[in-house]
Amino acid sequence: MRLTTKLAVTAAATAVALGTTFVGTAPSSTAAAARVSSFAPAATATITPGVQMYTNGAQCTGNFVFTDSSGGVYVGYAAHCAGLGEATDTNGCLNESVPIGTTVTFNEGGSLVSEGTQLGTGTLVYSSWRTMRANGVTDANTCAYNDFALVKVSAADAGKVNPSIPFWGGPTGIDTDGTAAGDRVWSYGNSSLRAGVTLLSPKTGISLGDTAADGGWTHPLYTVTPGVPGDSGSAFVTAGGKAIGTLSTLGLAPLPLSNNIGDLGKELAYAQASSGIPGLQLTNGTEPFNPIL
């Protein structure tokens, strides 16, 4: 069995692998109520943001839950989690990925010796990396920072899903204003390197500030314990529980052990324009955001 924990590594804190024409929006209150009513209660749901996701033996962490206009349910993770290259291959316009239609499993308790307990299955239905290559994208920022994929939860397992982020609650919508240096962020990673111990899964940290040169595509930050391989794809929220991004890479220089997240608003907008999934949108959590740390 091949077991690989995924977190792309970049030598520059702002050179990451991470997506543009619409602004990603939270569902309307009516649509949200209709969709949330079919979710499992947060206390008993087994497929949530933060779930471990395995693709051909490679492990990543789910970020947010999304729905479409026909009631389909999706869990997002990083496109590089389905990549076929090395951890240093971070340009989505140049690197190959597993085919659309590949089975992805949702697991808990995965470690370096076992994939743990399988909770359900899904199908890779969208990869920003594959889509950008097919569309001939050449824009450097889009290629470098659009790192987002969607796994459609099987009909048999859709009733196990809740969109609330463990420990923190939320999300409460999408943060479209970016971050300033010192802004606080919250996340939940679930790397198999932790051998099923989730004490360090909830994370909080601060933004290092956005850079104009990246066009708002990426947000470098530090967390109290940095994201490690296997945390890739994790959800990040800002004050009030607004979804800001998804974990993409570990920076080595000039900011050692920093992390870089792709901007969810841009990643989702690209997916809305390019995935062919009608009505694709972020689903808010059923539990209120509570920044207790």
Domain that holds residue 32: 4-38+46-282
172 located within any domain: yes
292 located within any domain: no
Query: Mean pLDDT over residues 139-159, rounded?
Result: 95
287 located within any domain: no
277 located within any domain: yes
User: Can you give the pLDDT at residue 257?
Assistant: 64
pLDDT band at residue 8, thresholds of 50, 70 and 90? low
293 located within any domain: no
**How confident is the prediction for the chain on average, in pLDDT?**
84
User: Can you give the pLDDT at residue 189?
Assistant: 85
For the sheet containing 4-5, what is the strand order?
4-5, 58-61, 52-55, 103-108, 117-127, 149-153, 73-77, 65-67, 281-282
pLDDT above 90 (res 256): no
The candidate with the shortest Cα–Cα distance to 228, out of 184, 197, 182, 254, is 197
When computed from its CA atoms, the radius of gyration of the chain, rounded to whole angstroms, is: 17
291 located within any domain: no
**Domain of residue 169, CATH code:** 2.40.10.120
Provide the number of structural domains found in the chain. Answer: 1
What separation in angstroms does the CA of 57 have from each of 18, 73, 280? Answer: 21, 23, 28
290 located within any domain: no
Q: pTM of the entire structure?
A: 0.86
pLDDT tens column, 104-137 = 999 999 988 889 999 999 999 999 999 999 999 9
CA distance 151 to 105: 9
E strand segments, 111-183: 117-127, 149-153
Q: 68: which DSSP letter? A: -
CA distance 66 to 105: 17
pLDDT above 90 (res 238): yes
CB neighbourhood size of 255 (10 A): 16
Q: 221: which DSSP letter? A: E
Q: Which amino acid is at 150?
A: L
Half-sphere exposure of 43 (CA within 13 A, CB side): 0
